[in-house]
Amino acid sequence: MTRQVRAAGIWGLGMAVPERILTNADLERMVDTTDEWITTRTGIKERRIAAEDEATSDLATRAGKLALREAGVAAEDLDLVIVATVTPDMNFPATACIVQMRLGATNAAVFDLSAGCSGFVYALDIAARTVESGAYHRVLVIGADVLSRITDWTDRSTCVLFGDGAGAAVVGPVEHGRGLLATDLGAVGAEGHFLTLPAGGSRKPASLETVEGKEHYIHMQGNEVYKFAVRVMGETVQRALKKCDLAPEDMDVFVPHQANIRIIDAACKRLGISRDKVFVNVHAYGNTSAASVPMALYEAFREGRIDDGDIVALVGFGAGLTWASAILRWGR
């Protein structure tokens, strides 16, 4: 939808990753793979892996604190905290409740949002709408995942792809014409079975059988998700741009979900945008799920790639299967 009422945008960004680095060479010693295969098929060279005592809320809290500091907002002034994640600390309470406590965001309503790797952009859209409507003034949006906990480290087709991390943004009112200009969210539930964590929910509660059957790990038909991603990324960005009367050539910075360099290249080709406008950090972190887009946005901004007034496009795709894109004019 296009935005009409009060404008909402990003006031500050944050990110957090675990210290431990797992390289492709490390993976060569764990499963039947090679640095050459991983690099050419995905673009990934290394990823971060959470320590044993490090959970999603720990990374989310660190990223959230940094975003609050950058935005100049006190935790107690937050009205809402949304944590997008598929790896909550536990089934309930929501990870957002744990983050709220850790930050001291005592006046905030809180909830988790599950939209896989599209989660951050989904949450950003909702956050902006609450600000635009005047209902809320300061919202903390976090995308955080510790996929290493649900990765089958004996399955070479998935374990080389993922990493852990968190990214955060404080959303608040901005000058008219800035902030979120348009978004486009959606899902194809009928294709959801291509990327699942089958057990541990009400359909298949945890049992000896589900553990033995490795049903508490990511199950993915990578090539199907690949096809979906290449198709929807271009389409959703085109739709979002159209809603705010912009064209692909108007984009200054393109920040796509960092799943696979080949998917990013294919999306750029479909959109007809040159690689120098695209921010890529997949080589350093792998696919960090809901954290991927905000981590890339954070690094793009820190590296001086985004200037005031720039048109920035964010796009994610993932479990659901979902997609989400957002077009912003940078600045407050």
Longest dimension (CA), the chain: 56
Least distance to ligand UT7, CB of residue 318, Å = 4
Nearer to ligand UT7, 136 or 228 (CB): 228
Phi-psi region for residue 116, left (φ > 0), alpha (ψ -120 to 50) or beta?
left
Does the annotation mark 159 as catalytic? Answer: no
Q: Is 260 in the site for ligand UT7 (CB under 6 A)?
A: yes
| Residue 57 near ligand UT7 by CB under 6 A | no
Query: Cα–Cα distances in Å, from 113 out to 49, 96, 264, 293?
Result: 23, 9, 25, 15
Q: Looking at beta carbons, which residue is closest to ligand UT7? A: 222
Binding residue for ligand UT7, selected from 186, 192, 198, 222, defined by CB under 6 A: 222
Q: CA 119, CA 143: separation in Å to the nearest integer?
A: 7
Site track for ligand UT7 across 150-169, x = CB under 6 A: ------xx--x---------
Catalytic annotation present for 176: no
Identify the active-site residue in 117, 159, 260, 268. 117
287: contact with ligand UT7 by CB under 6 A = yes
Judge if the upstream peptide bond of residue 18 is cis by omega within 30 degrees of 0: no
23 sits near ligand UT7 (criterion: CB under 6 A): no
Q: Which is nearer to ligand UT7, 109 or 266 (CB)?
A: 266
Q: How far apart are CA 144 and CA 141, in angstroms?
A: 10
> Which two structure tokens, joined as six digits, stand for 297?
């946005």
Burial class (CB in 10 A: 0-12, 13-18, 19+), 15: buried
Active site (annotated) includes residue 257: yes
Which tokens go with 295? 């981590």
Binding-site ranges for ligand UT7 (CB under 6 A): 33, 37, 41-42, 117, 156-157, 160, 195, 220, 222-223, 225-226, 229, 259-260, 287, 318
Residues acting as catalytic residues: 117, 257, 287
